[in-house]
Chain A
Amino acid sequence: MAVRARDLSKHYVHPWTLRVTRGLEGLDLDVRRGEVLGLLGPNGAGKTTTLKLLTGLLKPTRGNAWLMGEPVESTAARRSLGFLPEQPYFYDYLNGVEYLELAGQLSGLPSATARARARHWLGRVGLGERPRLVLRKYSKGMLQRLGLAAALVHEPGLLILDEPMSGLDPFGRRDVRDLITEQRERGVTVLFSSHILPDVEMLCDRVAIVIGGRLTRVATVGELVAGGSQAVEIRCAPGAVLEIPSHWAGRVTRTQRADESIFRVEDEAQLAEVLGWLLRAKVQVRAVTPQRPTLETLFMAAAEAERQRRTA
């Protein structure tokens, strides 16, 4: 396993009121070598807490974690780790090359190798044109790119990225996606948190959903979206407005547009019956599209279920 966590918990105690806040509760998580795992959750769910516990920036209240087989408390665990914190900040008195060179050396690269890699990765993340520009003049997006380069400069076997697409424009997001894909092809394990569900859907082998400091589900995107009845959308040419039979109320709905009528059948088992009805009514059917539930829908449902569980 590249990452293993057992009963990993973090509680914060307010120094004055002694009130305990549970940042993370009993996390059991395994990330296999070479896989890309996305950590999903709303704000304050415990994603960043999880990543900081794994990188040693936070000390767990309870439980243990290992990176590449080494306990996270040991420096050996961080030898093959590349970490990008959320909204990264850097020494603004350094320039891009100097910073990456320092980052490489601190991760164990010899000086000459660190210098060469610094230039390579600065170019690779699209900042190579002005290598001597001091970091105080970098934009937010440039800092995010530099952060990625700093996480990758020593070519680690495990990447932990906290919101890597945050602050990036669409081109930047595409570049980050390409970088993550490239790292996966190199055999690097990637664990990242994100709010941007399409990116998670596109990149991840598996998704872990964290809500209210608890891991609620770990599954592949396919597993998450599979199961249960699937809705189907039938697009028809505009024509006479058909009245939907009353016994289908709530199960079949219609949206009327200027150029087409769209029927939504909530249960695909009913598709043949609805299609037969449309064809008998001489409606011209243009397309029948199964409606795969999106990760967003499932995520929102999981969040709502957790909210209801807490309320109860």
Chain B
Amino acid sequence: MIPLLIAHNTFREATRDRVVAGVVVAGLALLALTQAASPLALGEGGRLTVDLGLSGISILGLLVILLAGTSLVAKEVERRTIYNLLARPITRPAYLVGKWAGLSAALWAVAGVLGLALWGLLALRGLAGHGPAVIEGVYLAGLELTVVTALAVMFSALSTPVLSALYTLGFYVVGQWSDDLRLFAARSPKGLGTVLAGIANLVPNLPLFNMRTLAADGHTTSALHLGLATGYAAVYAACVLCLATAAFESRDFK
């Protein structure tokens, strides 16, 4: 009940924030731009639309996380609004889970709106058959944003907004290259290889949530991939939130 109340309020905060509205407008503008650029794609206009549309959801979602998510808890501590919450019968883990769930829900809503616009655009281009692939692509993008939100909430609970943004961005970038990092670790000398493999396992495996190339061709992915990605996102986000609550539990609010 309490995490739901906090999640509802965080969702309300995010959706009343101009950043989210701006991101939706930017996403729609990006989709419109793909149509302007389509003639230059030499018959690959549909592919370009899907690719840029799904990339746009990921990148714009990341932008929301960096602008709003990384200050989610830090801002509450700085403005002392957190005093009015934690002096009530609320556990600190419930507070953090609520914050994460609320922002994740807002990001799913953004992904949903942009995904719907992308589907509509494809239908106008006579590519309505790409629908299932787009739905799966948006679903995986939503999972990716959910995982990155958990990282942002953790860093926000422990650090300043600027440092949280830097840490989150760092994890996102390295996470995008985690497959390459694992490959590189396998070919490196033992000591370095172990360190690199450790980093690759520590950061989120974000390529797991990328099916843009498949979706651009109108192909769907397997149920196993979707299931694995869902399970991985749930476990990774849970671990990150557990770490966050362990550190947040002993924090003083001076």
A85 touches B90 (CB 8 A): no
8 Å CB interface, A134-156 against B:
147, 150
Report the stretch among B75-83, B132-140, B200-208 that lies at the interface: B75-83
Task: Report whether B87 and A78 are in contact in the complex, using a CB–CB cutoff of 8 Å.
Answer: yes
Q: Identify the interface centre among A87, A102, A106, A108: most chain B CB within 10 Å of its CB.
A: A106
**Chain-B contact segment, one of A50-58, A166-174, A227-235:** A50-58
Kindly report which residue of chain B lies nearest to residue A75, judged by CB atoms.
B89
Given A106-B90, A108-B89: A89 touches B79 (CB 8 Å cut-off): yes
Whether A106 contacts B5 in the complex (CB less than 8 A), given A58-B254, A93-B17, comes out as yes
User: Which residues of A are found within 8 Å of B88, using beta-carbon distances?
Assistant: 78, 81, 83, 103, 106-107
Name the CB-closest residue of A to B78: A89
Bound: A79/B90 CA distance, A? 9
How many chain A residues touch B (CB < 8 A): the figure is 30
Complex CA–CA separation, A160 to B16 (angstroms): 32
A248 proximal to B (CB < 8 A): no
A105 within 8 A of B: yes
B84 at the interface (CB under 8 A from A): yes
Q: Complex Cα distance A105/B83, Å?
A: 16
A177 within 8 A of B: no
* A59→B250 contact, CB < 8 A: yes
CB distance from B68 to the nearest CB of A (A): 12
**Option from B86, B89, B250 in Cβ contact (under 8 Å) with A57:** B86
Given contacts A57-B253, A59-B250, contact A89 B81 (CB under 8 A): yes
A277 at the interface (CB under 8 A from B): no
Specify which of B13, B89, B91 is in contact with A91 (CB 8 Å cutoff).
B13
- What B residues does A75 contact at CB under 8 A? 89-91
How far apart are B146's CB and chain A's nearest CB, in angstroms? 23
Q: Are A103 and B89 CB-contacts (below 8 A) given A57-B252, A58-B252, A91-B13?
A: no
- Answer whether residue A69 sits at the interface, using C-beta atoms and an 8 A cutoff: no
Indicate with 1 or 0, residue by residue over B17-43, a CB within 8 angstroms of chain A CB atoms. 100000000000000000000000000
B248 to chain A, nearest CB (A): 12
Q: How far is the CB of A159 from chain B (nearest CB, A)?
A: 11
Contact yes or no, B80 A85, CB < 8 A: yes
Other-chain contact of B87, A12, A81, A105 (Cβ < 8 Å): A81
Chain B residues in the interface with A (C-beta under 8 A): 2, 5-6, 9, 12-13, 16-17, 79-81, 83-91, 250, 252-254
Sample (23) of A-B pairs whose CB atoms are under 8 Å apart: A57-B83, A57-B87, A59-B250, A59-B252, A75-B91, A79-B89, A81-B88, A83-B83, A83-B88, A85-B80, A85-B83, A85-B84, A87-B80, A88-B80, A88-B84, A89-B79, A89-B80, A89-B81, A91-B13, A93-B16, A94-B12, A106-B89, A107-B88
